[in-house]
Amino acid sequence: MSLFEQLLIAAVLLLGSGFALVASIGLLRMPDLPTRLHATSKAGSLGTGLILFGVALFHHDVGVSARAVVTALFILLTGPVAAHIIARAAYFAARLSLWEGTRLNELEGRYNRLTHEVESASPEERAQRKAAELEAERRRAREAAAKRRPQGRQDAGGGGT
């Protein structure tokens, strides 16, 4: 193995380890579950992917390299999705309290705990949408009525003698 290959592998492994370290620091430092999951899933997935890519570069066996690359892709694709699902389930099931510095809670007022349904819009947005739909329906009705109204007759001839 050449010196360039060794340096490249070392750089990729160190970069991956750095991302894993950032993920672990984020786990310790973030104030609530959603932010912890965000930090660990993004940085952890990228760090693990880079480490596995370094393993694939190190081993010259096609089988080992292929497994490492497939595993890295799997982790990169499923890690953030799994973290999103866990955070959403925790929000709904555990009545998760968010950090006081959270500026926007997009699900507040949209989740019905009795029916376990999430509404796509807030009550104000639904009222605005309903008003816009009613106005559009009235406009269509006026246009349809105007089309049905008979037009004034016009004489074909010019006056008579």
Average pLDDT of the chain, as a whole number: 85
Q: Say what the pTM is.
A: 0.64
Q: Which two tokens stand for residue 30?
A: 């973030």
Are 81 and 64 spatial neighbours (Cβ–Cβ below 8 Å)? no
Instruction: Tell me the H-state helices in the chain.
Output: 3-29, 33-58, 62-93, 123-148
Comparing 142 with 120, which gets the higher pLDDT? Answer: 142
What share of the chain has pLDDT > 70, as a percent?
A: 91
For residue 70, pLDDT over 90 is answered with yes
Q: pLDDT tens across 6-15, in order?
A: 999 999 999 9
Residue 134's identity, in one-letter code, is L
For residue 49, pLDDT over 80 is answered with yes
- Would you kindly state where each structural domain of the chain is located, as residue ranges? 3-97, 110-148
